[in-house]
Chains A and B, each alone.
Chain A
Amino acid sequence: MNYDSEYMCSGHVGCPGCGAAIAMRFVLKALGDKTMMVIPACCWSIIAGPYPQSTLKIPVLHTAFETGGAAASGVRAAQDIKGDTETTVVTWAGDGGTFDIGFQALSGAVERNENFIYFCYDNEAYMNTGVQRSSSTPYGARTSTTPGQHWKRLRKKNIVEALGAHRIPYAATASIAFPEDLMGKVEKAKSMTGSRFIHIFSSCPTGWGMPSEMSIKIARMAVQTNIFPLYELEDGIRYTINYTPKGYLVNEYFRLQGRFKHLTEKDLAHIQEMVDEDWNLLRRKAGSQNDMS
């Protein structure tokens, strides 16, 4: 498949360097124009543009924050009853709408194995409302609701594992820094039926305290450090790791972002241990031979 077609116009109102805008552009290239999209409240509620403009060349239903799974179920049901099983119905939600307030509706939709693809573009906090912590915010981050010495000392929720526990046909992670991997996964998901989930790491220069030109570099480093591994999980049991990095240490990734600048060497060492633990756990699940622990 060639990816020459554009389904996202210039003139969107995302911040400079917005990872979520990059993610949308890549994903639509792979989805094509036979796509209907549900967008619950998230940065993209704004990025898509105010009435009467829209930056997307596909039909879009903007809906309430916690309804991504349910509203898409309804769009799909209507499409099915009209006899059209060809159109792809997708939800495009942020981490707050996926990990937190929309989790119930998402769990309900995938338990019913609704025939749709749910995309979560993850910028690791409530960015649209001014960088408040979500359950996707990583250990160590300062946000506007975890300020000063109250920086987040809790792990990021593992959303792919939670979706895998529903035994859905396909769940995967992807990154804006690995567009071919991302678009390949979108095409693969599109070729399947039932509930499919793609979790896209989407840098946020505004919320993470870094220059806008760092978006792709930081997203790449998240994969290279095993902070955000690229993998697929089919039927909740079959793991495939798509990229095995050389084992970069997490320090550099953390030093480049304002949200982590308060962390001490000791904190970073603890974070390195957690990252190693998660990576080894993933490798064991994927049946890898070289357990690095």
Chain B
Amino acid sequence: MRQVIEGSHAVSEAVRLARVQVISAYPITPQTHIVERLSEYCANGTMNARFLRVESEHSAMAALIGAATNGVRTFTASSSQGLALMHELLHWASGARLPIVMAEVNRAMAPGWNIWTEQTDSLAQRDTGWVQLYCEHGQEVLDTTIQAFRLAEWLNLPVMVILDAFFLSHTYEPVDVPDQDSVDRFLPPYQPRFQLDLENPCAFNQLAPPNVYMEMRHNIQMAMDTALGFFEQMEEEFENIFGRRHGALEAIQCQDAEVIMITTGTVTSTSRQVLTELRQKGEKVGLLKIKLFRPFPANMIRELTASAAKIAVIDRNFSFGASGIFAQEIKAALCNLETRPLVYGYVAGLGGRDITPEVIEDIYWRTKNSTAPKGDSLWVGLHEVSHEL
């Protein structure tokens, strides 16, 4: 049924429909609407789930590690400082091969205190072994959250569903909220491959010396290697039931494009409008939206950008001393090709600053009119500053 709901509640509805059994969470803006709605559902019996009101994000993840090892479907939500506090246990969840699903609302890291959107919080968790999916709009948030459980349980790896603070988490949009029967057909009850079991008592996560540890890590990478193939198969099943799919990547008018802009999250929606206007002016421009960041779909990116002369990556994130993080990954994906597009990195919208159509258009013209990138990143939309560093 089509309803007008905010992005946060798109997550909550998906978690309800996924029949999650244990939820554990700690409050942090702008994630709170997600878990407030879920705690209502647990309190009024809409969901048959245990809700653990823990004393920190670290404990939220620790509790889910306990619950998931005990064989039930689990969910949490976090953001920024909270996600950073979980960092140790993000490694633990993937190393223990637990299919925990988390909604992560992208928020800038302090100091100074900033509750607005930026991707550096989730991208700083790049190497923790979590699948990362960046969403653009409310419908994609709901669908991806439901899919995340299928993906996580098939891979035996945790999955992070990521949405922009406020631009997505607090924005109301019409969203098709599917019925329970359809979701049950797509997402059957969780069948754990292993769990704490009194009849077959095993020890989990114990001492792993050098003679076994490396194979355990290699197994995780082997699972990651299958993720993209499974994702596409799963989306096909999803489309058969619900009539829509979003793709691990989405290429818009890239075939004949000379300049391809690469975006993630809600910046993509603004860029779609800019693309339409530039195309109307006769510009050969394309747009590539990256949704799946881990595992990184390098092959698909190579294929989809093959015909372009230039790529403009818009990063709402930054790695100090280096560059925007998506730009780094895209350069690495292209570096061994014989002929490859020039990659222009742009840093924009940090700490929730608006990335307006004008900013995106400026990025396009700068890229088109340049003969070669002048550095690894160009910061766009900066104010004039009068003080010295």
Contact = CB atoms under 8 A, between A and B. Distances in A.
Given A60-B201, A71-B63, A74-B64, 6 more contacts: A59-B201, A70-B66, A74-B52, A74-B68, A105-B59, A112-B54
A62 B65 contact: no
Contacts of A49: 203, 206-207
A111 to B, nearest CB: 7
Given A67-B59, A112-B53, A74 B66 contact: yes
A77 interface: yes
Contacts of B24: 73-74, 77
Contacts of A59: 196-198, 201-204
A69 to B, nearest CB: 7
B54 A45 contact: no
A70 B204 contact: no
A77 B203 contact: no
A80 interface: yes
A240 interface: no
Contacts of A105: 55-56, 58-59, 62
Interface in B1-51: 21-22, 24, 48-50
A74 B58 contact: no
Interface in B194-238: 196-198, 201-209, 212
A80 B21 CA distance: 10
B201 A58 contact: yes
A87 B72 contact: no
Interface string A54-85: 10111111111011011111111111111000
Interface in A236-269: none
Contact of B196 (A48, A67, A75): A75
Contacts of A51: 203, 206-209, 212
A115 B67 CA distance: 14
Nearest 5 CB-CB pairings of A with B: A74-B66, A108-B55, A78-B70, A70-B59, A67-B62
B66 A63 contact: yes
B317 interface: no
Given A59-B197, A59-B201, A108-B55, A73 B66 contact: yes
A45 B206 CA distance: 7
B66 A72 contact: yes
Interface stretch (A31-39, A197-205, A214-222): A31-39
27 contacts: A36-B70, A49-B203, A51-B208, A54-B202, A56-B201, A59-B196, A59-B203, A61-B66, A61-B205, A62-B203, A62-B205, A64-B62, A64-B89, A69-B59, A70-B54, A71-B66, A75-B69, A77-B66, A78-B50, A79-B70, A80-B50, A81-B72, A82-B72, A108-B54, A108-B56, A108-B59, A112-B54
Contacts of A34: 198
A281 interface: no
A107 interface: yes
Nearest to B205: A62
B92 interface: yes
Contact of B198 (A36, A38, A48, A80): A36
A15 interface: no
Contact of A74 (B65, B92, B201, B206): B65
A69 B74 CA distance: 18
A140 to B, nearest CB: 33
B73 to A, nearest CB: 10
Interface residues of B, number: 42
B92 A64 contact: yes
B155 to A, nearest CB: 20
A71 B59 CA distance: 7
Contacts of B197: 59
Contacts of A80: 50
Contacts of B67: 74-75, 77-78
A147 interface: no
Interface string A183-223: 00000000000000000000000000000000000000000
Contacts of A104: 55-56, 59
A56 B206 CA distance: 12
B178 interface: no
B63 A107 contact: no
B277 interface: no
A49 B206 CA distance: 8
A179 interface: no
B208 to A, nearest CB: 5
Contacts of A108: 54-56, 59
B88 interface: yes
B201 A70 contact: no
Contacts of B206: 45, 48-51, 54, 60, 62
A12 to B, nearest CB: 12
A46 interface: yes
Nearest to A68: B62
A99 B72 CA distance: 30
Nearest to B213: A51
Contacts of A50: 206-209
Given A73-B52, A107-B55, A78 B62 contact: no
Given A72-B66, A108-B59, A63 B202 contact: no
